Amino acid sequence: MKKTIFLTVVLTFVLTIGVGTAHTQQVGIDAAIRRVATELSTSIESGASVAVLSMQADSPRMSDYLIRETINALMELQGGRGFTTINRARFDQLMGGLHLNMTGSISDATIRTAGSLLGVRYIVTGTFGPLAGFFRFRAQVIDVETAAIRNITHADIQNDSLVAYLMGGTIQAGAPSAVPTGSTSNLVISENAGWGASVYAANITLRNNTSARFNIGREVIDRQERDVLTMEVDLARGNGWRQGVFSLNSDEMVQLLRSSEGIRFRVLGDGRTWIIRIPTSNVRDYGYFEASFRTRQNTVTEVNIPFSQLRQPSWARRVGFGRNNITGLHIARLSTTESGPSIIRVFDFEFI
CB-neighbour burial class of residue 51 (10 A; exposed 0-12, middle 13-18, buried 19+): buried
> What is the model's pLDDT at position 79?
84
CB-neighbour burial class of residue 202 (10 A; exposed 0-12, middle 13-18, buried 19+): buried
Report domain extents, the chain. Answer: 3-13+171-351, 26-159
Pick the CATH number of 26-159 from 3.40.50.10610, 3.40.50.300, 3.30.230.10, 1.20.1580.10: 3.40.50.10610
In three-state form (DSSP H/G/I as H, E/B as E, the rest C), the secondary structure along the chain is CCEEECCCCECCCCCCCCCCCCCCCEECHHHHHHHHHHHHHCCCCCCCEEEEEEEECCCHHHHHHHHHHHHHHHHHHHHHHCCEECCHHHHHHHHCCCCCCCCCCCCHHHHHHHHHHHCCCEEEEEEEEEECCEEEEEEEEEECCCCCEEEEEEEEECCCHHHHHHCCCCCCCCCCEEECCCCEEEEEECCCCCCCCCCEEEEEEEECCCEEEEEEEEEEECCEEEEEEEEEEEECCCCCCEEEEEEECCHHHHHHHHCCCEEEEEEEECCCEEEEEECECCCCCCCCEEEEEECEECEEEEEEEEHHHCECCCCCCCCCCCHHHECCEEEEEEECCCCEEEEEEEEEEEEC
CATH of domain 3-13+171-351: 2.60.120.430
> What is the model's pLDDT at position 214?
67
Say what the alpha-carbon torsion angle 83, 89, 91, 92 is, to the nearest 10 degrees: 180
The C-alpha atoms of residue 27 and residue 127 are separated, in whole angstroms, by 17
Question: What's the pLDDT tens digit per position in 145-189?
Answer: 888 999 999 999 988 877 887 787 543 323 333 333 333 333 333
> What is the model's pLDDT at position 188?
33
| pLDDT < 70: residue spans in the chain | 1-24, 96-106, 169-214, 236-242, 336
Q: From edge to edge, which strands make up the β-sheet containing 184-189?
A: 184-189, 200-207, 242-248, 329-335, 273-278, 289-294
Question: What's the pLDDT tens digit per position in 242-289?
Answer: 677 777 777 777 888 888 899 999 999 888 889 999 999 999 888 899
Are domains 3-13+171-351 and 26-159 of this chain identical in fold?
A: no
The C-alpha atoms of residue 321 and residue 319 are separated, in whole angstroms, by 7
User: Under a CB-based contact definition with an 8 Å cutoff, are residues 110 and 56 in contact?
Assistant: no
